[in-house]
Structure 1
Amino acid sequence: MFIETPKIQISKNTEDTFNFLNDLPNFRLLMPENIEKFEVLNENRFLFALKGMPEIVLEKKEQTPFKQIVLGAASEKLPFTLTADIIEVDTDKSEVVLSFKGEFNAMMAMMIKKPITNFINTLSTNLAKV
C-alpha cells in the first residue's frame, strides 16, 4: 500500500524544515486533534495513540540531511514507513511530501487505507501551519 500527500509549501528553508521534523517532540504539534497519547521514548522513537486506535511506536530509520527523513514502525507486526521528502523551492521556502508505505494483506489494507490517508493528510496540513 502506498499513500502520498500533495506537496505543501513551508515558509522555512530545507535545513530548518529538516531540523523541525528530525526533532521528534515536534510531531506532537502535527498530530490530529483526536490524539489520546504522545510520548517521546528517546531521541529516535516516539509513541502515539489516536482515539479508538492501538498505540504505535515510530522510530527514525533513515535520514538524508535537509532532504529526507524516514520513520518506520518499531513493531514487525505492522511493517510500514512514513517518509518526509523535503524539496528546496527558494532560500527561505521548501516543499514537503509525506508518503506512507506498508505491506498489508488485502483485508487489512482495505480497513486502514482511509484512516491512514486522513492521518498523513492531517500531519501535512498541520506542518504547513507550523
Structure 2
Amino acid sequence: MNLESPKVTVTKSEEEVFKFLSDVKNFEAIMPENISKFEVLGDDKFLFALKGMPDIVLKKKEEVPHNKIVLGAAGGKIDFSLTTQINKIDNGASEVQLLFDGNINPMMAMMIKGPITKLIETLSTNIPKAV
C-alpha cells in the first residue's frame, strides 16, 4: 500500500528542514492532537501511539543529506516505511512530502488506509508550523 501526503511549503531551507526532521525527538512536535504516547527510544528510534491504535516504533533507516529521511517500522505486525522527501524551492523555502509504503495484506489495508492517510496528512501539515 502506497500513500502520499500533500506537498507542503516550508519557509526554511532544505538544510534546516532536514536537520529538524533528522532529530527523531522533533517528531513529537508534528504529531496529531490525538497522540496518547510519545517516547524517544534512542538517537534514531521513537515510539508513538494514537488514541485507539497500538504503539508504533519507528527507526531511522536511511538519510540522504538535505533531501530524504526514511523511517521504518521497528518490529510490530506491519512492515512499512515512512519517507520524507525534501526539495529546494529557493534559498529560503523548501517543499516537503511524506510517502508511506507498506507491505500490508488487503484486509488490513482497508482498515488502516483512512487512519494512516490522516496521520501523514497531519504530520506534513504540522511540519511548516514546527520547523
Structure 2 residue ranges without an equivalent (≥5): none
Q: How does 1:41-120 map to 2 (within 5 A)?
A: 41-75=41-75, 77-120=77-120
Separation in 2 of the partners of 1:22 and 1:93? 18
Shift of 1:5: 1.0
Secondary structure (helix, strand or coil) at the match of 2:97 reads strand
Number of aligned positions between the proteins: 130
Shift of 1:73: 0.3
Post-superposition CA distance 1:32-78 (Å, at most 9, x none):
00101000000010000100000000000000000000000001621
TM-score normalized by structure 2? 0.97
Separation in 1 of the partners of 2:129 and 2:14? 16
Q: Where in structure 1 do 4 or more consecutive aligned residues deviate above 3 Å?
A: none
* Contact in 1 for aligned 2:56/2:76 (Cα 8 Å): no
| Residue 9 in structure 1 maps to residue 9 in structure 2 | yes
Secondary structure (helix, strand or coil) at the match of 1:96 reads strand
Amino acid at match of 1:38: F
Identity of aligned residues (%): 57
Separation in 1 of the partners of 2:42 and 2:119? 23
Separation in 2 of the partners of 1:128 and 1:113? 24
Which residue of 2 is the match for residue 26 of structure 1?
26
Separation in 1 of the partners of 2:121 and 2:44? 23
Structure 1 residue ranges without an equivalent (≥5): none
